[in-house]
Structure 1
Amino acid sequence: MAEPLCPVVEAARGWLGTPYVHQSSVKGCGADCLGLIRGVWREVHGAEPETPPAYTADWAECGNDEVLLLAAMRHLVPVEPHAGLIQGQVLLFRMRQGAIAKHLGILSEAGAEPRFLHAYTYHGVIESPLTTPWQSRIVARFSFP
């Protein structure tokens, strides 16, 4: 049986089908992974706490600055690593070993078959199974304040 929806997941599911558009955060028109989180923040909390700087599609391919991790630490509530998965958590992913964290999603279902919502290149905003390979890429988890 599916869990009852938390407000964050309900808002995020409203973005399903939004096309992938780099640096965008407009429901139904375009969003990237950060844009999805920003849009959900606006729906749940109101004005964004800061405007992200312009960034290129390959912004994380060089350098060692954990830009997304530091921004998440400023505005979201860190979840203890040993704590369980809970609907509505923001997931931060490292797409390859040794690289900085550069992808975000929102946990939509916890339990035996976890799922998450994210904006993915060429796919737009989708809901995906949080498979073992995805779980192994999680760097940190956060909740909305």
Structure 2
Amino acid sequence: MKAADPARVIAVARTWLGTPYHDQASLLGVGCDCLGLARGVWREVVGPEPFPIPPYSRDWGETGPREVLAEGARAMMPEIAPADAPPGALILFRMMPRAIAKHVGIVTGPDTFLHAYERLGVIEEPLTSAWRRRIAFAFLFPAR
């Protein structure tokens, strides 16, 4: 599977900067959560979403045996080692030790990433060591 042009992924992701945070939404400039941001970038870079996202609660998957986000991404995107995640990669974060990965971001540079964060909306910020150690999975957007 050929990967999408990372410069295009980053350019599209940056158009979402400033979009307010809104749980379960995916509307550029109107509102999105972290998954909604990834879905919006997918639609622009890859094409229509391959399947509908079922409703989910804020506390979904705090624990449990299944890595729901990773399984979904793995079905549609080439997986890469988290340490090798280049600009343009989708990264999944484990927000607490032993919890499943449930936060999503997009790498925008060697030390920066973009994500939707509650109360802040879509922001680009440093990929600090605190964020890096939480990366559990990484994927590449496929070419259209």
User: Same fold by TM (over 0.5)?
Assistant: yes
Residue aligning to 1:74: 75
CA contact (8 A) 2:19 2:30 kept: yes
Quote the offset at 1:81 in angstroms. 4.5
Residue aligning to 1:10: 11
Q: How many residues were matched structurally? A: 137
Q: Unpaired segments of 5 or more residues in structure 1?
A: none
User: CA 1:118 to 1:82, structure 2 compared with 1: closer, same or farther past 3 Å?
Assistant: closer
Residue aligning to 1:128: 125
Quote the offset at 1:62 in angstroms. 4.0
Residue aligning to 2:3: none
Return the letter of the residue paired with 1:141: A
The answer as to 2:125 corresponding to 1:117 is no
RMSD: 1.2
Quote the offset at 1:46 in angstroms. 1.4
State the distance in 1 between where 2:7 and 2:65 align: 34
Return the letter of the residue paired with 2:120: H
Cα deviation code 1:20-76 (max 9, x no counterpart): 000000000000000000000001111011111100111122433211010111111
Aligned counterparts, 1:1-145, within 5 A: 6-81=7-82, 83=84, 85-110=85-110, 114-145=111-142
Secondary structure of the corresponding residue to residue 101 of structure 1? coil
TM-score between the two structures when normalised by the length of structure 1: 0.90
State the distance in 1 between where 2:126 and 2:43 align: 25
* Aligned structure 1 segments of 4 or more residues deviating by more than 4 angstroms: none
TM-score between the two structures when normalised by the length of structure 2: 0.91
Cα deviation code 1:86-124 (max 9, x no counterpart): 1100011000101000000000011xxx10000001110
CA contact (8 A) 2:82 2:136 kept: no
User: CA 1:7 to 1:67, structure 2 compared with 1: closer, same or farther past 3 Å?
Assistant: same
Report the identity percentage: 50
